[in-house]
């Protein structure tokens, strides 16, 4: 239980840190690209301003021909494409690497599979008259390459980081789970000790009540009438103590025994049904078990029978007279599927996740009146999990409930039994 808690904590830790890592890298890349784009735009705007005085205007036509003949200063190495357009957007001149002959107003990004560049265009005036545009374009190839390099480096580092985080997570989750584990063992010991301590006084009360009844035949009628109440309470208390001791034993790794026997689950279910048939008849509830496939599973017969009887007891408790309870068993190849459905009162949706918790009861008074302790389903779940199976529940308020249990076929489970 705690081993799986530790692995679960480690898994969540690694999963969450991986998500944080992936989001951080993705945001880093995004920020890097955004910042580089901003810098390129600034550089293009500065360049346009620097070039503006060098533009010669002849007959209202702007030109950089003369400037392009001159030896250039260091920043103008022609990594940029410089274009001059007329006021209607017709390309007049192009200097530097070949660019796309389209005038884009303001900043623009050209992005296609082969080419990725930023473009900046600004109008040129002679006095107040618009005589054309200068447009500068710079390829983002280098920036893209740096960003890809960064992404690849982070991806290469990721498995090492995850491995390190996994190891750290495993150590820390072990430390975090330790106090919970200790607390749980203290509680378990307490439950087991309290159970043992309580069994003796319960047995003494029962023996004395019986002796009183036997030795005092003339006991006042009203006092005699109280004896059944005492016996019922003793029964309830004894069952409760037994259930608590069973639960604490099942969850203690020390008392785990490998008791895997091959057994015919179909036969086991049929026996449990037959044993309870009379009780159902008394309550005028029909108990049907027509489809029980012969399925052999590995497990412990006594605890598996407890699963079936607990589920049947619940079906009986929470189904009104005239109802029907149906038991089915199928062989699904890799799993055995046991279903117990009733046409009873059903369970409200908000209670469904809680019914396997200890002492949880939807309707305390109904459960108590029927002799329930709220431990039945916790025991069922613990036994099923010890057999590496799982239990599911579906219910509709007022219509009925179906419990479905899956047992793996062919594995050797660790089962737990009270000694
Ligand atoms: P209890 O001893 O009270 O029956 P369980 O652990 O067996 O305790 O069940 C927990 C609660 O789940 C019950 O109190 C009841 O409210 C609900 N429950 C269990 N089985 C059924 C069922 N077949 N139909 C309706 N409610 C059920």
Any atom of ligand 1 within 6 Å of the Cβ of 311: no
Any atom of ligand 1 within 6 Å of the Cβ of 381: no
**H or E stretch including 213?**
helix 141-215
Q: Which of 91, 115, 146 is the last residue of a domain?
A: 146
We report the CATH number of the domain holding residue 47 as: 3.30.450
**Number of CB atoms found within 10 A of residue 93's CB:** 17
What mean pLDDT comes out for the span 334-341?
Answer: 96
Q: Which residue CA neighbors atom 23 of ligand 1 most closely?
A: 315
Atom in ligand 1 nearest the alpha carbon of residue 340? 23
Tell me whether residue 251 is in a domain.
no
Q: Is pLDDT larger for residue 182 or for residue 289?
A: 289
**Do residue 130 and residue 272 come from a single domain?**
no
Taking alpha carbons only, the member of 354, 411, 367, 375 closest to residue 251 is 375
**Do residue 142 and residue 273 come from a single domain?**
no
What mean pLDDT comes out for the span 287-302?
Answer: 90
**Residue whose token pair is 């007022």:** 398
Tell me whether residue 158 is in a domain.
no
Any atom of ligand 1 within 6 Å of the Cβ of 373: yes
**Number of CB atoms found within 10 A of residue 88's CB:** 8
Tell me whether residue 236 is in a domain.
no
Any atom of ligand 1 within 6 Å of the Cβ of 360: yes
Any atom of ligand 1 within 6 Å of the Cβ of 367: yes
Structural domain range at position 386: 258-408
Mutate to test the pocket of ligand 1, among 244, 285, 317, 356 (most ligand atoms within 8 A of CB): 317
Q: Would you say 55 and 62 are in contact if contact means Cβ atoms under 8 Å apart?
A: yes
Q: How many domains does the chain fold into? A: 2
How do residues 9-54 score in pLDDT, each as one tens digit? 888 988 998 899 899 999 999 999 889 888 988 988 898 898 888 8
Q: What percent of the chain has pLDDT over 70?
A: 91
Q: Which of 99, 128, 146 is the last residue of a domain?
A: 146
**Do residue 141 and residue 263 come from a single domain?**
no
Tell me whether residue 43 is in a domain.
yes
Taking alpha carbons only, the member of 325, 324, 320, 291 closest to residue 309 is 325
**Do residue 141 and residue 262 come from a single domain?**
no
Any atom of ligand 1 within 6 Å of the Cβ of 376: yes
Tell me whether residue 161 is in a domain.
no
Using alpha carbons only, how large is the chain's radius of gyration in Å?
40
Tell me whether residue 169 is in a domain.
no
Tell me whether residue 400 is in a domain.
yes
Torsion (CA) 236, 242, 248, 254 in degrees, nearest 10: 180
Asked if the model's pLDDT at residue 320 lies above 90, the reply is yes
How do strand 91-95 and strand 108-111 relate by DSSP bridges? unpaired
**Do residue 400 and residue 279 come from a single domain?**
yes
How do residues 243-274 score in pLDDT, each as one tens digit? 888 887 776 654 455 556 789 999 999 999 99
**Angstrom distance (rounded) from CA 324 to CA 342:** 6
Asked if the model's pLDDT at residue 383 lies above 80, the reply is yes
Any atom of ligand 1 within 6 Å of the Cβ of 316: no
Candidate from 81-95, 211-225, 351-365 with smallest mean pLDDT: 211-225
Residue 381 Cα to ligand 1 midpoint, Å, equals 13
We report the CATH number of the domain holding residue 349 as: 3.30.565.10
Any atom of ligand 1 within 6 Å of the Cβ of 64: no
Tell me whether residue 264 is in a domain.
yes
**Do residue 266 and residue 391 come from a single domain?**
yes
Taking alpha carbons only, the member of 120, 416, 404 closest to residue 259 is 416
Q: Which of 146, 171, 205 is the last residue of a domain?
A: 146
Angle at 218 between CA 217 and CA 221, to 5 degrees: 110
**Angstrom distance (rounded) from CA 115 to CA 265:** 69
**Do residue 268 and residue 396 come from a single domain?**
yes
**Angstrom distance (rounded) from CA 173 to CA 6:** 6
**H or E stretch including 272?**
helix 265-282
From the number of C-beta atoms within 10 Å of its C-beta (0-12, 13-18, 19+), residue 400 rates as buried
Q: If pLDDT is split at 50, 70 and 90, which confidence band does 363 have?
A: confident
Does the predicted TM-score (pTM) go above 0.85?
A: no
What integer best gives the mean pLDDT of the chain? 86
Q: Would you say 325 and 340 are in contact if contact means Cβ atoms under 8 Å apart?
A: yes
Mutate to test the pocket of ligand 1, among 377, 391, 397 (most ligand atoms within 8 A of CB): 377
Residue 355 Cα to ligand 1 midpoint, Å, equals 7
Render 91-129 in DSSP notation, one character per residue.
EEEEESS--------SSEEEE-SS-EEEEEEEEEEETTE
Q: Which residue CA neighbors atom 19 of ligand 1 most closely?
A: 314
């Amino acid at each position: 239980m705690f081993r799986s808690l530790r692995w679960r904590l480690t898994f969540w830790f690694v999963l969450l840190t991986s998500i944080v890592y992936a989001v951080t890298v993705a945001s880093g890349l995004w920020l890097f690209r955004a910042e580089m784009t901003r810098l390129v735009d600034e550089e293009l705007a500065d360049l346009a301003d620097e070039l503006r005085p060098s533009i010669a205007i002849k007959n209202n036509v702007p030109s950089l021909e003369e400037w392009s003949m001159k030896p250039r200063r260091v920043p103008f190495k022609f990594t940029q494409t410089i274009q001059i357009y007329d006021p209607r957007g017709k390309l007049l001149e192009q200097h530097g690497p070949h660019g796309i002959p389209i005038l884009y107003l303001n900043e623009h990004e050209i992005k296609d599979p082969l080419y990725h560049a930023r473009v900046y265009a600004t109008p040129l005036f002679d006095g107040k008259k618009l005589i054309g545009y200068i447009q500068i374009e710079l390829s983002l190839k280098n920036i893209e390459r740096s960003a890809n390099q960064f992404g690849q480096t982070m991806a290469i580092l990721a498995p090492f980081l995850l491995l390190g985080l996994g190891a750290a997570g495993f150590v820390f989750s072990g430390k975090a789970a330790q106090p919970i584990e200790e607390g749980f063992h203290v509680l378990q010991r307490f439950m087991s000790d309290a159970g043992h301590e309580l069994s003796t006084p319960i047995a003494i009360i029962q023996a004395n009540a019986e002796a009183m009844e036997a030795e005092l035949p003339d006991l006042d009628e009203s006092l005699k009438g109280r004896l059944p109440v005492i016996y019922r309470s003793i029964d309830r208390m004894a069952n409760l103590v037994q259930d608590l001791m069973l639960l604490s034993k099942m969850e203690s790794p020390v008392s785990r025994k490998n008791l895997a026997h091959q057994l015919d689950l179909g036969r086991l279910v049929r026996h449990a049904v037959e044993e309870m048939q009379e009780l159902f008849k008394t309550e005028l509830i029909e108990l049907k078990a027509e489809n029980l496939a012969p399925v052999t599973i590995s497990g412990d017969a006594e605890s598996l029978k407890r699963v079936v009887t607990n589920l049947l007891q619940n079906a009986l408790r929470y189904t009104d007279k005239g109802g029907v309870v149906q038991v089915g068993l199928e062989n699904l190849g890799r799993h055995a599927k046991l279903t117990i459905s009733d046409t009873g009162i059903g369970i409200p949706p908000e209670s469904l996740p809680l019914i396997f918790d200890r002492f949880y009861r939807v309707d305390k008074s109904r459960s108590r009146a029927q002799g329930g302790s709220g431990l039945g389903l916790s025991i069922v779940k613990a036994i099923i999990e010890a057999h590496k199976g799982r239990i599911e529940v579906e219910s509709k308020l007022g219509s009925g409930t179906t419990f479905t249990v899956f047992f793996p076929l062919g594995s050797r489970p660790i089962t737990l039994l009270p000694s």
